[in-house]
Amino acid sequence: MNVTLAIFKKEFKALFYSPIAYIVIFVFLGITGWFFTSSLFEVGIVSMRGAFEIISFILLFFIPAITMRTFSEEKRSGTIEMLLTKPVTEMQIIAGKFFATLAFTALAIAPTLIYLISLLFLGSVDIGIIISSYIGLLFVCAVYISCGIFASSLTENQIIAFIISFLIIFALFILNKVLIFFPVFLTSFLEYLSTDYHYMNMSRGVIDTRSIIYFVSAILIFLLLARIPLEKRKW
Amino acid sequence: MSIKLENLTKYYGDQLAVNNISFEISSGEIVGFLGPNGAGKTTTLRMITTFLSPTSGNIFVDGINAAIDPLKVRRKIGYLSEQNPLYNDMNVVDFLVYNARLQMISEDRIKNAVDKMVNVCGLKEVKHKDIRELSKGFRQRVGLAQAMIHDPEILLLDEPTSGLDPNQILEIRKLIKELGRKKTLVLSTHILQEVQAVCDRIIIIHKGEIKADAKPEDLQKEIQGQNVIKLSLRYNKKVSTENLTSEFKSINGVESVSVREDKQANLWEIEIKSSKSIDAREEVFKRVIKLGLEMIEMKQVEASLEDIFRKLTN
Protein backbone atom coordinates (compact mmCIF):
# COMPACT_ATOMS: atom_id res chain seq x y z
CA MET A 1 0.00 0.00 0.00
CA ASN A 2 1.09 3.51 -0.73
CA VAL A 3 2.63 5.09 2.36
CA THR A 4 0.48 8.21 2.19
CA LEU A 5 -2.63 6.05 1.95
CA ALA A 6 -1.50 4.02 4.96
CA ILE A 7 -1.03 7.21 6.99
CA PHE A 8 -4.39 8.50 5.74
CA LYS A 9 -6.18 5.36 6.91
CA LYS A 10 -4.46 5.33 10.28
CA GLU A 11 -5.13 9.01 10.92
CA PHE A 12 -8.75 8.78 9.80
CA LYS A 13 -9.34 5.94 12.23
CA ALA A 14 -7.46 7.77 14.97
CA LEU A 15 -9.84 10.71 14.73
CA PHE A 16 -12.60 8.42 15.91
CA TYR A 17 -10.58 7.20 18.91
CA SER A 18 -10.64 10.60 20.53
CA PRO A 19 -13.80 11.92 22.18
CA ILE A 20 -13.09 15.38 20.74
CA ALA A 21 -14.36 14.21 17.37
CA TYR A 22 -17.73 13.06 18.70
CA ILE A 23 -18.23 16.14 20.84
CA VAL A 24 -17.40 18.41 17.95
CA ILE A 25 -19.70 16.59 15.51
CA PHE A 26 -22.52 16.61 18.05
CA VAL A 27 -22.22 20.33 18.73
CA PHE A 28 -21.79 21.07 15.04
CA LEU A 29 -24.96 19.28 14.00
CA GLY A 30 -26.89 20.66 16.95
CA ILE A 31 -26.12 24.26 16.14
CA THR A 32 -26.57 24.00 12.38
CA GLY A 33 -29.82 22.09 12.91
CA TRP A 34 -31.11 24.81 15.17
CA PHE A 35 -30.29 27.58 12.71
CA PHE A 36 -31.66 25.64 9.78
CA THR A 37 -35.00 24.81 11.40
CA SER A 38 -35.49 28.23 12.95
CA SER A 39 -35.20 29.99 9.58
CA LEU A 40 -37.39 27.34 8.01
CA PHE A 41 -40.24 27.35 10.49
CA GLU A 42 -40.12 30.85 11.93
CA VAL A 43 -39.44 32.81 8.75
CA GLY A 44 -40.79 30.26 6.30
CA ILE A 45 -37.92 30.46 3.78
CA VAL A 46 -37.01 27.32 1.84
CA SER A 47 -33.26 27.89 1.77
CA MET A 48 -30.07 26.55 3.28
CA ARG A 49 -28.55 29.96 3.48
CA GLY A 50 -28.90 30.20 7.24
CA ALA A 51 -27.32 26.79 7.71
CA PHE A 52 -24.39 27.56 5.40
CA GLU A 53 -23.70 30.88 7.08
CA ILE A 54 -23.60 29.38 10.50
CA ILE A 55 -21.46 26.46 9.32
CA SER A 56 -18.72 28.78 8.11
CA PHE A 57 -18.78 30.42 11.53
CA ILE A 58 -18.71 27.13 13.47
CA LEU A 59 -15.75 25.96 11.39
CA LEU A 60 -13.66 28.63 13.14
CA PHE A 61 -13.80 26.49 16.27
CA PHE A 62 -14.43 23.09 14.76
CA ILE A 63 -11.31 22.88 12.59
CA PRO A 64 -8.76 24.01 15.21
CA ALA A 65 -10.31 21.48 17.60
CA ILE A 66 -9.83 18.54 15.28
CA THR A 67 -6.46 19.57 13.86
CA MET A 68 -4.75 20.64 17.08
CA ARG A 69 -3.50 17.16 17.88
CA THR A 70 -2.25 16.14 14.42
CA PHE A 71 1.41 16.91 15.10
CA SER A 72 1.36 18.27 18.66
CA GLU A 73 0.41 14.87 20.02
CA GLU A 74 3.09 13.10 18.00
CA LYS A 75 5.67 15.57 19.25
CA ARG A 76 4.56 15.37 22.86
CA SER A 77 4.46 11.58 22.99
CA GLY A 78 7.58 11.20 20.85
CA THR A 79 5.91 9.07 18.18
CA ILE A 80 7.12 11.61 15.63
CA GLU A 81 10.60 10.11 16.13
CA MET A 82 9.29 6.65 15.33
CA LEU A 83 7.46 7.96 12.29
CA LEU A 84 10.42 9.93 10.94
CA THR A 85 12.82 7.01 11.28
CA LYS A 86 10.64 5.04 8.86
CA PRO A 87 11.19 5.43 5.12
CA VAL A 88 8.58 8.20 4.97
CA THR A 89 9.00 11.82 3.91
CA GLU A 90 7.62 14.74 5.88
CA MET A 91 5.36 15.63 2.98
CA GLN A 92 3.81 12.16 2.88
CA ILE A 93 2.98 12.42 6.57
CA ILE A 94 1.52 15.89 6.16
CA ALA A 95 -0.54 14.84 3.13
CA GLY A 96 -1.86 11.74 4.89
CA LYS A 97 -2.94 13.76 7.90
CA PHE A 98 -4.43 16.53 5.77
CA PHE A 99 -6.62 14.24 3.68
CA ALA A 100 -7.68 12.22 6.71
CA THR A 101 -8.86 15.36 8.50
CA LEU A 102 -10.55 16.61 5.37
CA ALA A 103 -12.40 13.33 4.92
CA PHE A 104 -13.44 13.43 8.55
CA THR A 105 -14.73 16.99 8.19
CA ALA A 106 -16.66 16.06 5.06
CA LEU A 107 -18.19 13.21 7.01
CA ALA A 108 -19.20 15.62 9.78
CA ILE A 109 -20.81 17.97 7.29
CA ALA A 110 -22.52 15.18 5.34
CA PRO A 111 -25.53 14.85 7.70
CA THR A 112 -26.53 18.40 6.72
CA LEU A 113 -27.63 16.82 3.44
CA ILE A 114 -30.69 15.74 5.41
CA TYR A 115 -31.68 19.42 5.54
CA LEU A 116 -31.41 19.54 1.77
CA ILE A 117 -33.57 16.44 1.35
CA SER A 118 -36.23 17.82 3.66
CA LEU A 119 -36.20 21.08 1.69
CA LEU A 120 -36.84 19.20 -1.54
CA PHE A 121 -40.18 18.08 -0.12
CA LEU A 122 -41.17 21.57 0.91
CA GLY A 123 -40.59 23.69 -2.13
CA SER A 124 -38.37 24.44 -5.09
CA VAL A 125 -34.68 24.64 -4.26
CA ASP A 126 -31.88 25.99 -6.43
CA ILE A 127 -29.72 22.86 -6.53
CA GLY A 128 -26.89 24.62 -8.39
CA ILE A 129 -26.42 27.11 -5.59
CA ILE A 130 -26.42 24.38 -3.00
CA ILE A 131 -23.81 22.33 -4.89
CA SER A 132 -21.51 25.31 -5.32
CA SER A 133 -22.02 26.16 -1.64
CA TYR A 134 -20.93 22.68 -0.65
CA ILE A 135 -17.89 22.88 -2.91
CA GLY A 136 -17.01 26.25 -1.41
CA LEU A 137 -17.48 24.84 2.07
CA LEU A 138 -15.12 21.96 1.40
CA PHE A 139 -12.49 24.34 0.07
CA VAL A 140 -12.83 26.55 3.12
CA CYS A 141 -12.49 23.48 5.35
CA ALA A 142 -9.40 22.42 3.42
CA VAL A 143 -7.75 25.82 3.89
CA TYR A 144 -8.56 25.85 7.60
CA ILE A 145 -7.32 22.28 8.03
CA SER A 146 -4.00 23.00 6.37
CA CYS A 147 -3.70 26.05 8.60
CA GLY A 148 -4.52 23.94 11.68
CA ILE A 149 -1.94 21.33 10.70
CA PHE A 150 0.65 24.06 10.32
CA ALA A 151 -0.20 25.44 13.78
CA SER A 152 -0.01 21.96 15.24
CA SER A 153 3.43 21.37 13.73
CA LEU A 154 4.75 24.40 15.62
CA THR A 155 4.22 23.18 19.15
CA GLU A 156 3.80 20.11 21.29
CA ASN A 157 1.07 21.82 23.26
CA GLN A 158 -2.39 21.19 21.82
CA ILE A 159 -3.92 24.26 23.47
CA ILE A 160 -1.32 26.54 21.92
CA ALA A 161 -1.89 24.84 18.56
CA PHE A 162 -5.62 25.47 18.92
CA ILE A 163 -5.10 29.14 19.71
CA ILE A 164 -2.63 29.75 16.90
CA SER A 165 -4.80 28.09 14.29
CA PHE A 166 -7.91 29.83 15.59
CA LEU A 167 -6.20 33.22 15.33
CA ILE A 168 -5.02 32.65 11.76
CA ILE A 169 -8.34 31.19 10.65
CA PHE A 170 -10.23 33.98 12.35
CA ALA A 171 -8.06 36.56 10.57
CA LEU A 172 -8.76 34.91 7.21
CA PHE A 173 -12.46 34.82 8.04
CA ILE A 174 -12.82 38.38 9.30
CA LEU A 175 -10.67 40.12 6.71
CA ASN A 176 -13.46 41.00 4.25
CA LYS A 177 -15.59 42.41 7.08
CA VAL A 178 -13.07 44.91 8.38
CA LEU A 179 -11.95 46.41 5.07
CA ILE A 180 -13.09 49.90 6.06
CA PHE A 181 -10.19 50.07 8.52
CA PHE A 182 -7.62 49.69 5.74
CA PRO A 183 -6.45 52.18 3.08
CA VAL A 184 -8.41 51.94 -0.14
CA PHE A 185 -5.58 50.67 -2.34
CA LEU A 186 -5.24 47.59 -0.10
CA THR A 187 -8.89 46.64 0.03
CA SER A 188 -9.17 44.51 -3.08
CA PHE A 189 -5.97 42.66 -2.18
CA LEU A 190 -7.10 42.01 1.40
CA GLU A 191 -10.52 41.01 0.19
CA TYR A 192 -8.88 38.43 -2.05
CA LEU A 193 -7.02 37.00 0.98
CA SER A 194 -10.24 36.47 2.90
CA THR A 195 -11.65 32.95 2.80
CA ASP A 196 -15.10 34.22 3.58
CA TYR A 197 -15.15 36.49 0.53
CA HIS A 198 -14.57 33.51 -1.78
CA TYR A 199 -16.96 31.38 0.18
CA MET A 200 -19.68 34.03 -0.10
CA ASN A 201 -19.18 34.13 -3.85
CA MET A 202 -19.52 30.41 -4.12
CA SER A 203 -22.57 30.28 -1.91
CA ARG A 204 -24.21 32.66 -4.37
CA GLY A 205 -23.48 30.11 -7.07
CA VAL A 206 -20.39 31.77 -8.54
CA ILE A 207 -17.48 29.41 -9.09
CA ASP A 208 -14.67 31.72 -10.07
CA THR A 209 -11.23 30.42 -11.11
CA ARG A 210 -9.73 33.21 -9.01
CA SER A 211 -11.34 31.63 -5.98
CA ILE A 212 -10.16 28.15 -6.89
CA ILE A 213 -6.61 29.47 -7.32
CA TYR A 214 -6.89 31.22 -3.97
CA PHE A 215 -8.06 28.08 -2.15
CA VAL A 216 -5.51 25.74 -3.72
CA SER A 217 -2.57 28.05 -3.15
CA ALA A 218 -3.59 28.77 0.46
CA ILE A 219 -3.75 25.02 1.15
CA LEU A 220 -0.36 24.40 -0.42
CA ILE A 221 1.30 27.32 1.37
CA PHE A 222 0.16 26.15 4.80
CA LEU A 223 1.09 22.54 4.16
CA LEU A 224 4.53 23.53 2.94
CA LEU A 225 4.96 25.76 5.99
CA ALA A 226 4.08 22.81 8.21
CA ARG A 227 7.11 21.02 6.85
CA ILE A 228 9.55 23.60 8.18
CA PRO A 229 9.15 22.88 11.92
CA LEU A 230 9.28 19.15 11.18
CA GLU A 231 12.58 19.55 9.42
CA LYS A 232 13.97 21.80 12.10
CA ARG A 233 15.50 18.77 13.83
CA LYS A 234 17.90 18.60 10.91
CA TRP A 235 19.41 22.02 11.40
CA MET B 1 25.69 -4.23 6.57
CA SER B 2 28.26 -1.91 7.90
CA ILE B 3 27.90 1.41 9.62
CA LYS B 4 30.65 3.96 9.26
CA LEU B 5 30.84 7.26 11.09
CA GLU B 6 33.35 9.84 9.96
CA ASN B 7 34.29 12.77 12.21
CA LEU B 8 30.74 13.16 13.40
CA THR B 9 29.99 16.34 15.34
CA LYS B 10 26.66 17.59 16.60
CA TYR B 11 25.87 20.89 18.26
CA TYR B 12 22.51 21.75 19.78
CA GLY B 13 22.75 25.51 19.51
CA ASP B 14 25.99 26.24 21.33
CA GLN B 15 26.02 23.01 23.22
CA LEU B 16 28.34 20.33 21.96
CA ALA B 17 26.63 16.94 22.13
CA VAL B 18 28.88 14.77 20.02
CA ASN B 19 32.48 15.74 19.40
CA ASN B 20 34.22 14.47 16.30
CA ILE B 21 33.65 10.76 16.70
CA SER B 22 34.57 8.15 14.13
CA PHE B 23 34.13 4.42 14.17
CA GLU B 24 33.13 1.58 11.95
CA ILE B 25 30.83 -1.29 12.78
CA SER B 26 31.08 -4.22 10.48
CA SER B 27 28.38 -6.63 9.48
CA GLY B 28 27.10 -8.97 12.17
CA GLU B 29 28.76 -7.25 15.11
CA ILE B 30 26.94 -6.73 18.39
CA VAL B 31 28.17 -3.45 19.76
CA GLY B 32 27.45 -2.01 23.17
CA PHE B 33 27.29 1.74 23.17
CA LEU B 34 28.05 2.67 26.71
CA GLY B 35 28.11 5.94 28.56
CA PRO B 36 26.60 7.87 31.43
CA ASN B 37 23.35 9.72 30.87
CA GLY B 38 23.85 12.69 28.59
CA ALA B 39 27.01 11.33 27.01
CA GLY B 40 25.71 11.59 23.46
CA LYS B 41 24.56 8.02 22.88
CA THR B 42 21.03 8.86 21.84
CA THR B 43 22.20 11.76 19.68
CA THR B 44 24.60 9.47 17.83
CA LEU B 45 21.95 6.80 17.26
CA ARG B 46 19.47 9.42 16.09
CA MET B 47 22.00 10.65 13.58
CA ILE B 48 22.51 7.13 12.25
CA THR B 49 18.75 6.80 11.78
CA THR B 50 18.80 10.15 9.95
CA PHE B 51 16.28 11.54 12.43
CA LEU B 52 18.90 14.18 13.26
CA SER B 53 21.46 15.57 10.90
CA PRO B 54 25.02 15.97 12.09
CA THR B 55 26.49 19.47 12.28
CA SER B 56 29.47 18.07 10.43
CA GLY B 57 30.80 14.69 9.43
CA ASN B 58 29.46 11.79 7.43
CA ILE B 59 27.50 8.64 8.06
CA PHE B 60 27.55 5.71 5.69
CA VAL B 61 25.19 2.81 6.12
CA ASP B 62 26.11 -0.05 3.84
CA GLY B 63 28.03 2.48 1.79
CA ILE B 64 25.06 4.82 1.39
CA ASN B 65 25.56 8.38 2.53
CA ALA B 66 22.80 9.09 5.05
CA ALA B 67 22.70 12.79 4.18
CA ILE B 68 22.08 12.07 0.51
CA ASP B 69 19.62 9.19 0.58
CA PRO B 70 18.04 9.12 4.06
CA LEU B 71 15.02 7.03 3.04
CA LYS B 72 17.19 4.24 1.70
CA VAL B 73 19.18 4.24 4.92
CA ARG B 74 16.03 4.17 7.05
CA ARG B 75 14.78 1.15 5.15
CA LYS B 76 17.83 -0.81 6.25
CA ILE B 77 17.54 0.15 9.89
CA GLY B 78 15.24 -1.01 12.64
CA TYR B 79 15.20 1.48 15.50
CA LEU B 80 13.85 1.31 19.01
CA SER B 81 14.09 4.72 20.65
CA GLU B 82 14.61 5.20 24.35
CA GLN B 83 11.10 6.30 25.28
CA ASN B 84 9.68 3.69 22.94
CA PRO B 85 6.78 5.87 21.85
CA LEU B 86 3.78 3.90 20.60
CA TYR B 87 0.27 4.82 19.53
CA ASN B 88 -1.68 4.01 22.68
CA ASP B 89 -5.02 4.00 20.91
CA MET B 90 -4.14 1.25 18.49
CA ASN B 91 -4.20 -2.44 19.18
CA VAL B 92 -1.02 -4.43 18.77
CA VAL B 93 -1.84 -6.07 15.45
CA ASP B 94 -3.15 -2.85 13.85
CA PHE B 95 -0.03 -1.07 15.02
CA LEU B 96 2.25 -3.67 13.49
CA VAL B 97 0.28 -3.68 10.23
CA TYR B 98 0.61 0.10 10.11
CA ASN B 99 4.35 -0.14 10.62
CA ALA B 100 4.62 -2.82 7.96
CA ARG B 101 2.86 -0.50 5.52
CA LEU B 102 5.17 2.37 6.43
CA GLN B 103 8.04 0.04 5.59
CA MET B 104 6.36 -0.59 2.27
CA ILE B 105 5.96 -4.30 2.76
CA SER B 106 3.57 -5.49 0.06
CA GLU B 107 0.00 -6.20 1.22
CA ASP B 108 0.16 -9.95 0.61
CA ARG B 109 3.26 -10.30 2.79
CA ILE B 110 2.07 -8.13 5.67
CA LYS B 111 0.09 -10.81 7.47
CA ASN B 112 3.11 -13.10 7.45
CA ALA B 113 5.44 -10.41 8.69
CA VAL B 114 3.07 -9.47 11.52
CA ASP B 115 2.48 -13.09 12.54
CA LYS B 116 6.19 -13.69 12.60
CA MET B 117 6.80 -10.70 14.85
CA VAL B 118 3.96 -11.73 17.16
CA ASN B 119 5.60 -15.14 17.53
CA VAL B 120 9.20 -14.03 17.83
CA CYS B 121 8.48 -11.26 20.30
CA GLY B 122 5.99 -13.30 22.34
CA LEU B 123 2.99 -11.06 21.76
CA LYS B 124 0.40 -13.77 21.21
CA GLU B 125 -1.57 -13.18 24.40
CA VAL B 126 -1.81 -9.42 23.92
CA LYS B 127 -2.12 -9.09 20.17
CA HIS B 128 -5.71 -7.85 20.27
CA LYS B 129 -5.23 -5.55 23.22
CA ASP B 130 -4.88 -1.80 22.96
CA ILE B 131 -1.30 -0.70 23.49
CA ARG B 132 -2.30 1.56 26.40
CA GLU B 133 -3.28 -1.53 28.39
CA LEU B 134 0.09 -3.23 28.06
CA SER B 135 2.68 -3.55 30.80
CA LYS B 136 6.07 -1.97 30.27
CA GLY B 137 7.61 -5.31 29.34
CA PHE B 138 5.05 -5.96 26.62
CA ARG B 139 5.35 -2.39 25.36
CA GLN B 140 9.05 -3.01 24.93
CA ARG B 141 8.31 -6.17 22.98
CA VAL B 142 5.94 -4.25 20.74
CA GLY B 143 8.69 -1.68 20.29
CA LEU B 144 11.11 -4.40 19.22
CA ALA B 145 8.49 -5.89 16.91
CA GLN B 146 7.89 -2.56 15.15
CA ALA B 147 11.63 -2.07 14.78
CA MET B 148 12.07 -5.44 13.10
CA ILE B 149 8.89 -5.87 11.11
CA HIS B 150 10.74 -5.30 7.83
CA ASP B 151 13.56 -7.65 8.81
CA PRO B 152 16.24 -4.95 8.78
CA GLU B 153 19.87 -5.90 8.67
CA ILE B 154 20.77 -3.27 11.21
CA LEU B 155 19.09 -2.94 14.56
CA LEU B 156 19.64 0.12 16.75
CA LEU B 157 18.28 -0.19 20.27
CA ASP B 158 18.42 2.80 22.59
CA GLU B 159 18.36 1.63 26.20
CA PRO B 160 16.02 -1.27 25.48
CA THR B 161 15.77 -2.44 29.07
CA SER B 162 15.38 0.86 30.88
CA GLY B 163 12.45 0.95 33.27
CA LEU B 164 11.84 -2.79 33.27
CA ASP B 165 11.77 -5.05 36.30
CA PRO B 166 14.58 -7.63 36.71
CA ASN B 167 12.59 -10.49 35.17
CA GLN B 168 11.56 -8.42 32.19
CA ILE B 169 15.14 -7.25 31.74
CA LEU B 170 16.33 -10.84 31.50
CA GLU B 171 13.57 -11.72 29.04
CA ILE B 172 14.23 -8.73 26.80
CA ARG B 173 17.96 -9.35 26.94
CA LYS B 174 17.44 -12.94 25.90
CA LEU B 175 15.20 -11.78 23.08
CA ILE B 176 17.76 -9.24 21.91
CA LYS B 177 20.48 -11.84 21.96
CA GLU B 178 18.41 -14.16 19.81
CA LEU B 179 17.36 -11.45 17.42
CA GLY B 180 20.81 -10.00 17.12
CA ARG B 181 22.37 -13.22 15.97
CA LYS B 182 22.00 -12.54 12.28
CA LYS B 183 22.04 -8.77 12.43
CA THR B 184 24.33 -5.88 13.00
CA LEU B 185 23.22 -4.69 16.38
CA VAL B 186 24.02 -1.52 18.26
CA LEU B 187 22.79 -1.37 21.80
CA SER B 188 23.03 1.79 23.83
CA THR B 189 22.92 1.47 27.57
CA HIS B 190 24.30 2.72 30.84
CA ILE B 191 23.86 -0.67 32.47
CA LEU B 192 27.15 -2.49 32.47
CA GLN B 193 25.95 -6.04 32.98
CA GLU B 194 23.91 -5.67 29.86
CA VAL B 195 26.96 -5.05 27.74
CA GLN B 196 28.81 -7.90 29.39
CA ALA B 197 25.85 -10.20 28.81
CA VAL B 198 25.17 -9.37 25.20
CA CYS B 199 27.92 -7.56 23.32
CA ASP B 200 31.13 -8.57 21.63
CA ARG B 201 32.43 -5.04 21.34
CA ILE B 202 32.16 -2.02 23.58
CA ILE B 203 32.34 1.62 22.68
CA ILE B 204 32.43 3.89 25.70
CA ILE B 205 31.37 7.44 25.06
CA HIS B 206 31.60 10.29 27.52
CA LYS B 207 30.85 13.98 27.01
CA GLY B 208 30.50 13.35 23.31
CA GLU B 209 33.86 11.68 22.90
CA ILE B 210 34.90 8.08 22.52
CA LYS B 211 36.86 6.95 25.56
CA ALA B 212 37.33 3.31 24.69
CA ASP B 213 36.59 0.93 21.85
CA ALA B 214 37.48 -2.70 22.53
CA LYS B 215 36.27 -6.16 23.37
CA PRO B 216 34.88 -6.58 26.90
CA GLU B 217 37.65 -9.03 27.86
CA ASP B 218 40.37 -6.72 26.61
CA LEU B 219 38.95 -3.83 28.56
CA GLN B 220 38.91 -5.95 31.65
CA LYS B 221 42.52 -7.01 31.21
CA GLU B 222 43.55 -3.44 30.78
CA ILE B 223 42.52 -2.50 34.26
CA GLN B 224 43.60 -5.65 36.02
CA GLY B 225 46.92 -4.99 37.65
CA GLN B 226 46.09 -6.52 40.97
CA ASN B 227 44.29 -9.32 42.65
CA VAL B 228 41.93 -8.31 45.37
CA ILE B 229 40.73 -10.67 48.09
CA LYS B 230 37.78 -9.73 50.20
CA LEU B 231 37.57 -11.44 53.54
CA SER B 232 35.04 -11.43 56.36
CA LEU B 233 36.08 -12.78 59.75
CA ARG B 234 34.10 -13.15 62.96
CA TYR B 235 35.31 -10.50 65.39
CA ASN B 236 37.33 -11.83 68.26
CA LYS B 237 38.66 -9.51 70.96
CA LYS B 238 41.67 -11.74 71.63
CA VAL B 239 43.22 -10.54 68.38
CA SER B 240 43.94 -6.87 67.80
CA THR B 241 43.45 -5.12 64.50
CA GLU B 242 47.17 -4.31 64.22
CA ASN B 243 48.01 -7.90 64.82
CA LEU B 244 45.71 -8.96 62.02
CA THR B 245 47.09 -6.41 59.59
CA SER B 246 50.69 -7.37 60.17
CA GLU B 247 49.86 -11.06 59.91
CA PHE B 248 48.40 -10.71 56.42
CA LYS B 249 51.02 -8.23 55.34
CA SER B 250 53.72 -10.76 56.01
CA ILE B 251 52.35 -13.03 53.28
CA ASN B 252 54.64 -13.06 50.28
CA GLY B 253 53.37 -10.78 47.51
CA VAL B 254 50.74 -8.91 49.51
CA GLU B 255 50.93 -5.20 48.86
CA SER B 256 48.34 -3.70 51.12
CA VAL B 257 45.86 -4.75 53.74
CA SER B 258 42.97 -2.76 55.05
CA VAL B 259 40.95 -3.90 58.04
CA ARG B 260 37.63 -2.47 59.03
CA GLU B 261 35.71 -3.37 62.12
CA ASP B 262 31.99 -3.83 61.67
CA LYS B 263 30.73 -3.64 65.25
CA GLN B 264 27.10 -4.11 64.36
CA ALA B 265 27.61 -7.36 62.49
CA ASN B 266 30.43 -8.32 64.84
CA LEU B 267 32.76 -8.78 61.88
CA TRP B 268 36.06 -7.74 60.42
CA GLU B 269 35.94 -6.72 56.81
CA ILE B 270 39.36 -7.11 55.27
CA GLU B 271 40.65 -6.25 51.83
CA ILE B 272 43.95 -7.73 50.74
CA LYS B 273 45.62 -6.55 47.53
CA SER B 274 48.41 -8.57 46.03
CA SER B 275 50.39 -8.42 42.81
CA LYS B 276 48.63 -9.98 39.88
CA SER B 277 50.86 -13.01 39.56
CA ILE B 278 50.11 -14.25 43.03
CA ASP B 279 47.05 -16.06 44.31
CA ALA B 280 47.26 -15.51 48.06
CA ARG B 281 44.03 -17.21 48.98
CA GLU B 282 45.52 -20.40 50.35
CA GLU B 283 48.03 -18.60 52.50
CA VAL B 284 45.36 -16.23 53.81
CA PHE B 285 43.26 -19.21 54.83
CA LYS B 286 46.19 -20.76 56.69
CA ARG B 287 46.88 -17.55 58.58
CA VAL B 288 43.27 -17.27 59.65
CA ILE B 289 43.42 -20.79 61.08
CA LYS B 290 46.70 -19.98 62.79
CA LEU B 291 45.14 -16.98 64.53
CA GLY B 292 42.25 -19.18 65.63
CA LEU B 293 39.61 -17.03 63.94
CA GLU B 294 36.42 -18.00 62.20
CA MET B 295 36.09 -17.25 58.50
CA ILE B 296 32.68 -16.13 57.27
CA GLU B 297 33.54 -15.39 53.67
CA MET B 298 36.45 -15.08 51.30
CA LYS B 299 36.35 -14.13 47.65
CA GLN B 300 38.69 -13.00 44.95
CA VAL B 301 37.33 -9.99 43.13
CA GLU B 302 37.89 -9.41 39.45
CA ALA B 303 38.10 -5.93 38.15
CA SER B 304 34.68 -5.35 36.65
CA LEU B 305 33.53 -3.27 33.73
CA GLU B 306 32.13 -0.96 36.33
CA ASP B 307 35.63 -0.11 37.49
CA ILE B 308 36.72 0.54 33.94
CA PHE B 309 33.69 2.62 33.31
CA ARG B 310 34.22 4.70 36.40
CA LYS B 311 37.87 5.15 35.60
CA LEU B 312 37.19 6.27 32.05
CA THR B 313 34.28 8.57 32.77
CA ASN B 314 35.53 10.31 35.88
pLDDT tens string B111-147: 999 999 999 888 999 989 999 999 988 999 999 999 9
Give me the mean pLDDT over the B204-224 stretch.
79
Which chain A residues in 68-87 lie under 8 Å from chain B, judged by CB atoms? 77-79, 81-87
pLDDT confidence of residue B36? 82
- Longest CA–CA separation in chain A, Å: 62
Looking at residue B306, which CATH number applies to its domain? 3.30.70.260
Tally of domains within chain B: 2
C-alpha to C-alpha distance for B230 and A150, rounded to whole angstroms: 64
One domain for residues B211 and B274: no
Domain that holds residue B244: 222-313
One domain for residues B66 and B211: yes
Give B66's contacts (C-beta < 8 A, 6+ positions apart): B47, B48, B50, B58, B59, B60, B73
How much is the ipTM here? 0.87
One domain for residues B60 and B118: yes
* Distance, CA of A52 to chain centre: 14
Q: Any CB–CB contact under 8 A between A16 and chain B?
A: no
Q: Cite the DSSP H helix spans in chain B.
A: 41-48, 70-76, 92-102, 107-120, 136-148, 166-179, 192-198, 216-223, 241-249, 281-291, 305-313
One domain for residues B139 and B193: yes
One domain for residues B12 and B137: yes
One domain for residues B243 and B279: yes
Task: Please report residues of B whose CB lies closer than 8 A to that of A83.
Answer: 102
One domain for residues B266 and B203: no
User: Which candidate, A222, A136, A134, A205, places its Cα nearest to that of A171?
Assistant: A222
C-alpha to C-alpha distance for B18 and A79, rounded to whole angstroms: 24
Q: Any CB–CB contact under 8 A between B52 and chain A?
A: yes
The answer, yes or no, to whether residue A117 has pLDDT greater than 70, is: yes
Tens of pLDDT, residues B168-186 = 888 888 888 887 778 899 9
Looking at residue B177, which CATH number applies to its domain? 3.40.50.300
Task: Please report residues of B whose CB lies closer than 8 A to that of A10.
Answer: 87, 90, 98
Contact B139, B147 (CB under 8 A): no
One domain for residues B147 and B20: yes
pTM of the model: 0.83
- Chain B residue with CA closest to A5: the answer is B101
One domain for residues B9 and B110: yes
Of B196, B215, B234, the position where a domain reaches its end is B215
Facing residue for B51 by CB, picked from A3, A77, A85 = A85
One domain for residues B34 and B121: yes
Facing residue for B101 by CB, picked from A6, A17, A18 = A6
One domain for residues B55 and B200: yes
Give A128's contacts (C-beta < 8 A, 6+ positions apart): A205
| DSSP calls for A8-35 | HHHHHHHHHHSHHHHHHHHHHHHHHHHH
Element (H, E) at B30: strand B30-34
One domain for residues B100 and B209: yes
Q: Give me the torsion for CA of B186, B187, B193, B196, rounded to 10°.
A: -10
In percent, the amount of chain B with pLDDT more than 70 equals 95
Average pLDDT, chain B: 86
CB burial of A29-67 (b: ≥16 within 10 Å; e: otherwise) equals bebbbebbeebbeeeeeebbbbbbbbbbebbbbbbbbbb
More confident position, B151 or A51: B151
Element (H, E) at A195: helix A195-203
* Sequence ranges of the domains in chain A: 2-234
Q: Any CB–CB contact under 8 A between B161 and chain A?
A: no
Q: What angle do CA B122, B124, B125 make, to 5 degrees?
A: 110
Cβ contact, residue pair A86, B72, below 8 Å: no
pLDDT band at A235 (very low <50, low <70, confident <90, very high): low
Facing residue for A87 by CB, picked from B71, B85, B107 = B71
